[in-house]
Amino acid sequence: MVSFDKFKIWVLCICLVCELGYGFYLPGSYPHKYGVGDFLNVKVNSLTSIDTELPYSYYSLPFCKPEEGVKDSAENLGELLMGDRIENSPYRFKMYTNETEVFLCQTKPLSSDEFKLLKERIDEMYQVNLILDNLPAIRYTKKDNFFLRWTGYPVGIKVQDAYYVFNHLKFTVLVHKFEETNVARVMGTGDGSEVISTVGNEGSDAPGYMVVGFEVVPCSFQHTPDSLKNLKMYGKIPSPIKCDPTTVSMAIKENEPVSFSYEVNFVESDIKWPSRWDAYLKMEGAKVHWFSILNSLMVITFLAGIVLVIFLRTIRRDLARYDELDKEAQAQMNEELSGWKLVVGDVFRAPSNPGLLCAMVGDGVQILGMAVVTIMFAALGFMSPASRGTLITGMLFFYMILGVAAGYVSVRLWRTICCGDHKGWVSVAWKAACFFPGIAFLILTVLNFLLWGSDSTGAIPFSLFVILILLWFCISVPLTMIGGYIGAKAPHIEYPVRTNQIPREIPPQKYPSWLLVLGAGTLPFGTLFIELFFIMSSLWMGRVYYVFGFLLIVMILLVVVCAEVSLVLTYMHLCVEDWKWWWKSFFASGSVAIYIFLYSINYLIFDLKSLSGPVSATLYLGYSLVMVLTIMFATGTVGFLSSFWFVHYLFSSVKLD
């Protein structure tokens, strides 16, 4: 009966993991009820381009500004770090009220600088990103009988050496009748001032609608000067406007103004509020993700077979044979030892730079813990794309909190290497608190100066720089020191064998040991390179990545592969009497970062061929370097800890003098 209950639990877990692969999300905010005629205000985000990867403010170009002036929307830390700058716009609708030929404004005659800047932004294929009720504007194009989905629309287009701007926008707003039960059913983090209470409204018959879709069709239309005379903002243009996205007519010229207009059409839709993000999060290529997981499982099975052979056929056989002998025969056998048994007096000899190793392992535990917790929350839907910046904000929060784990692991490992000595634990905890964050902060500071020089909104403001430094030294560092104090008080791990005073000479090897260490990274890379393509496309091609369920599964498989690879390589080094396994076990699995960086260069050359300018390429390589360093710390830590456990278990199973 007990075994049957265990079987049911395993079946349930497997079903849960399979379902988790598809993932789901919480809408992220409460539904907003709008009555007929209520104003809907469109917001604008930064202009973006996959050609430069440099975001710019919407109002850096000569566009119409709202009558009340430009105002920043409420932003969180994650939005600022991602380069989002959300501001109000002059586009304004009335709920369920169709409008056509709405005049927005006529700019001043374009100066030479404005004209040149507009041409540059059109050449660099910059996109305008609009937001209505927290939904980005979506655009559909047809190619080979297929509809392609894009977020935003281009600033303009170049046709035969002439530049045209999209100055007329045709909006379609999809609405759904407000249902009171939605408020009770949908979870999220909406703005309290806009939450509609269900209490006391049960008898209300006032019609209400929710925004469930926001589409845009950009057009280039040449307005006649006479039709715009004496028109104010939101006035109706007397002449009809035909919005044809296949033709262009509004050419921009120096010292000539540009006129902007729009139209809006409301369409009642069957889309429910919880499903309104489905158009953005449609998971394409699910079979590819499952293929990635199957590929990883094959690598794991192959490595698990090797580990099984090592444990069952080699180690267990040697130990069983040794235990069957009497003491006299054991003494004789000790003189005839070979392989890993010969390094018994050196296997736990302290490595070179032990303080640095302890700090890197502590940082790796902190990074790995942050990644696991963040991806789990994202897979469970608590970091919805509707709440912009929550993913980055969550990562920062979890990273700071897990400083306790970094301090504890680094200091306890230090005390283990020093055989219980408390001396120097403060220095080790300080290294763990500052080593990886210091490297990342230095790289990001250099990149930020490049962004500042380009006047990009991707540059972190100086005030945010100060906030990040305060978070680092006022929260993360103290928590790491607290963890170090706990680690200093905890008992150190006892070695099962004594270390000789004179180190044993390592015999010459047939091949360099670093060659094996570098080659070992290919196996962990093989488990994630397919998923890596989707992540890179999300980061650099503007695509939404929300299959965190798959990412969680791939990450678990990656951890298993890293542990197995490092364990096998450590055993191979011990068998050839190489007792310097500490750093090699770290870089055996950490070397996957080298292959990821090479893949990043390959992605830059073949997939981001249109990336223009040395600044953009430097930014790409700089961010890629931070990413691979993060992965190296996390995977290296997994490899080291698994090897440490393996070596401790191996030499605690046999007692040699």
If you write DSSP's letter for every residue of 207-240 in order, what string do you get? -EEEEEEEEEEEE-----GGGGTT--TTPBPSS-
Rg (CA), the chain: 31
Identity of residue 643: S
- Residue reference for tokens 């309104």: 276
**What pLDDT, in 10s, does the model give residues 134-155?**
899 999 887 777 778 888 999 9
**What pLDDT, in 10s, does the model give residues 517-574?**
888 898 889 888 888 888 888 888 777 777 788 888 889 989 988 998 899 899 888 8
- 3-state helix, strand, coil split of the chain in percent (to 5) is 50, 15, 35
Query: Tokens representing 209?
Result: 């609608």
CB atoms < 10 A from the CB of 355, how many? 19
SS3 317: helix
What is the pLDDT at residue 476? Answer: 96
Q: Closest by alpha carbon to 137, among 48, 25, 66, 198?
A: 48
Q: Which of the residues in the chain have pLDDT under 50?
A: 1-28, 181-204, 330-336, 657
Q: How far is CA 129 from the centre of its chain?
A: 21
Phi/psi for 29 (5° steps) reads -160, 160
